[in-house]
Chains A and B, each alone.
Chain A
Amino acid sequence: MSTVASPDLLTGQRGWWHRTRDGLFRVAIMGSVVLGLVVLVALIAQSLVKGWPRLGLDLLTHFPSSFPDRAGIQSAIFGTLWLVAIVFVTAIPIGVGAAIYLEEYADTNTWYNRLIDVVIQNLAAVPSIVYGILGLAFLSRGFLHLGPVVLTGGLTLSLLVLPVVIIASREAIRAVPSSILDGALALGATQWQAVSRQVLPAAIPGIATGAILAVSRAIGEAAPLLLLGALQFITFNPTGLDSSFTALPIQIFNWISRPQEGFHIAAAAAIIVLLGITLLMNGVAIWLRKRFQQQW
C-alpha cells in the first residue's frame, strides 16, 4: 500500500516538525520489526549454538537414557511419526469433508449452520491444554478408557487441529469462483461431480497448505500430550495403536526440566531437529500457497 500519491513531497510544504515527526515514527516502526526479528533469530541461534555439538547420528538413533551423553530421541521421533500418521488419516479427511459440506451443500441461512460456523471459529482459538483435558476425560480415562497410548494422543491432536483444517479448506474452496461450479452444473454435471472434478482440484493447493500447517502444529504441540500422561521414560518405539509413547516436544520438555546441563544441551539438539521439521513444513506450505495461487 505504498503507492499513495507521494505524500513525502507534500511533507516538504508542512515545516520541519511534521518532517521530524514522520522521521521519528519511521524509525520507531522500523525498530519494532527489527526487534521482533532479532529476538526470533536469537531464539533459533541460541538453540543452534548450544545444541550443535550434540547433533549427530547418536542423538537420532539412541533411546532416552539417564546419562545425558547417551540420551537420544529415536523413540520420540517414532512416537511423533505415529501421531502425525493418526492426525493425517483422521483430521484431514474429516476436516476437508466438513469444509465441502459447509461451503457447497449447507444452507448458510439456517441457524444451525451459522452456529456451526461460529463454533468452529471459537474452537480454533481454544487453548490446547483444554483439548488435553477433553482427551483425558473422554479418550484416556472416561468413556473409551484407552489409557495414555499413542491412539489417544493422536486423536486428541486431531481434535485440536480439526478446526484449523476446516477453516483453511473452506477458504480454499471459497476462493474458487462460483462460475466454475455453475459452468459444470450447466453442462449437466451433478452437484457432486461438479464439486469433486472442478472445484476440489482447483482448491487443492489451498487445502494442502492448510493441511501441512495443521500437521506441523500437531508435531510441535506438547501441552495436551503432557496432560494425557505421555511424559514417561520410553525406551522403545511404538509397536501399535495401543502402545505407550513419547513425542519430540515431550522429550524436549522432559530434558529441559532436569537440572543437569548435559540434558539441556541434549534438549537444544532435539530442538534443532524439531525446529528443522516444523519450519521446513511451514516454509513448504507458504511456498505452495504462493506458487499455486491462482488469479481468476
Chain B
Amino acid sequence: MVVTTGIVVALLVPSIEFFQAVSPVEFLTGTLWSPLFKNAHFGVLPLLSGTLVVTLIAAVVCLPLGLCAAINLSEYATARTRAVIKPILEVLAGIPTVVYGFFALTFVTPLLQRNWPFDTPPQVFNALSAGLVMGFMILPTVASISEDAMYAVPQSLRAGAAALGATRFEISTRVVVPAALSGIIAAFVLGISRAIGETMIVLIAAGGTPNLTLNPAESMQTMTAFIGAAGLGDQPTGSIGYKTIFAVGLTLFAMTLVMNIISIRLVRRYREIYD
C-alpha cells in the first residue's frame, strides 16, 4: 500500500513540475523527442511508436506460439511429458533479461542481417530482433498461465464433447479454448504488459534513437529504453532532463496499470466460473 502510494507520488510530483514547463499537448502530440539537447523537443510519440512496434512484434511471436504450446501441454501431452516440460518452462521464465538482450544483439541481429530478403538489411540496432527475442522471453509466462486456465476446465465438458463424436482438435478449439478464454486473454494481456515494461532487451538491442517510424528494421527507442538511457546519463536533480524520466515513467506506469487491472479482472472472472 505504502509502496503504491510511493510510486504514484514519486511519479506525480516531478511529472507535474514537468508539465508546468512543457504543455501536455506538446508532450502527447509532438513528433520529435530530444529532451536532452539544447534545442529540446518533448513529443512522446516517437517513444510510444517504438514501444508499440516492439510490443506488436513480441505479441505476433508469442500469442500463437503460447496458445499452441498451452493446448499441447493441457490437451495432448501425456502426464509424463507435462511433468518434464512444465518445470523447464518455469526455469526458463527466470532467465535474466540482460541475457535475452545479449542474445538479440549478438545472435538474432546478425542472423537477420545475413538472411534479409529485402533491399536494406536491418541496422545493428533494430526493433525487429528486440521484438522477436522479447516474444520468446514472455512465451513461458503466457504458455504457463493459459495452460493453467485450460487445465481448470472441467473434465466433464471434454468427455461430453468426445461422447458426441468430436475429435481432439474439435475438443481443444471449440470446447476447451472458449471455456478458458478469459484466462487465456488474461495471460496475453499480462504478457503484453510485461513486454511494454521490459527495459534491458530494448536498451541493448533496439538502439537509442527516438524514431517515429513503423519500419522494424530501423533503430528505435522505447519509453523504457529512454528511461534507462537517461538514468545512465546521471541527470542532476530538478533539471528538465531529470523530470522527463518521471513524465515518461508515469505514462508507462499508467499503461501497464490499466492492462494489469484488465488481466486481474479476467482471471477473477474465470476463477468464479469453475470454483
Contacts and interface: CB of A to CB of B under 8 A. Distances in A.
Interface of A: 1-5, 7-8, 10-11, 13-14, 18-19, 21-22, 25-26, 28-33, 35-37, 39-40, 42-43, 46-47, 50, 115-116, 118-119, 121-123, 125-134, 136-138, 141-142, 159, 162, 213, 216-217, 219-223, 226-229, 231, 249, 252-253, 256-257, 264, 267-268, 271, 274-275, 278-279, 281-283, 286, 290
B97 A4 contact: no
A270 to B, nearest CB: 9
A286 B87 contact: yes
Query: Which of A11, A130, A229 counts the most B-chain CB atoms under 10 A from its CB?
Result: A130
6 contacts: A28-B68, A33-B73, A43-B100, A118-B264, A129-B227, A130-B252
B214 interface: no
Given A128-B199, A130-B7, A216-B94, A1 B99 contact: no
Nearest to A18: B167
Nearest to B189: A125
A283 B87 CA distance: 8
B77 A137 contact: no
A271 B200 CA distance: 14
Interface string B114-138: 0000000000000000000000100
Contacts of B95: 40, 43, 220, 275, 278-279
B94 A282 contact: yes
B99 A130 contact: no
Given A7-B166, A39-B136, A129 B99 contact: no
Interface string B254-265: 001100110110
B4 A4 contact: no
A14 B165 contact: yes
Contact of A30 (B72, B197, B198, B228): B72
Nearest to B73: A33
Given A29-B76, A116-B1, A227 B100 contact: no
Q: Majority SS of interface residues in chain B?
A: helix
B78 interface: yes
A275 B99 contact: yes
A282 B61 CA distance: 25
Contact of A130 (B106, B172, B253): B253
A122 B261 contact: yes
Contacts of B197: 126-130
A223 B237 CA distance: 19
A1 B198 CA distance: 34
B96 A133 contact: no
B105 interface: yes
A21 B167 contact: yes
Interface string B52-69: 000000000000110011
Contact of B136 (A5, A19, A40, A123): A40
Contacts of B170: 18
Contacts of A252: 98-99, 102
Instruction: Give the secondary structure class of A's interface.
Output: helix
Contacts of A8: 168
Interface of B: 1, 3-4, 6-7, 10-11, 14, 64-65, 68-69, 71-79, 85, 87-88, 90-103, 105-107, 136, 139-140, 143, 150-151, 155, 158-159, 162-163, 165-173, 190, 193-194, 196-200, 203-204, 224, 227-228, 231-232, 234, 237, 245-246, 249, 252-253, 256-257, 260-261, 263-264
B83 to A, nearest CB: 9
Nearest to B257: A122
Nearest to A281: B94
Given A4-B155, A47-B102, A223-B228, 11 more contacts: A5-B163, A10-B165, A29-B71, A127-B194, A132-B231, A226-B203, A226-B231, A227-B228, A228-B231, A256-B204, A278-B94
Contacts of A142: 10
Given A4-B158, A11-B167, A231-B232, A271 B94 contact: no
B158 to A, nearest CB: 5
A14 B161 CA distance: 14
B252 A127 contact: yes
A33 B85 contact: yes
A1 B3 contact: no
A29 B72 contact: yes
Given A4-B162, A279-B94, A22 B169 contact: yes
A59 to B, nearest CB: 16
A127 to B, nearest CB: 2
B159 A4 contact: yes
B147 to A, nearest CB: 10
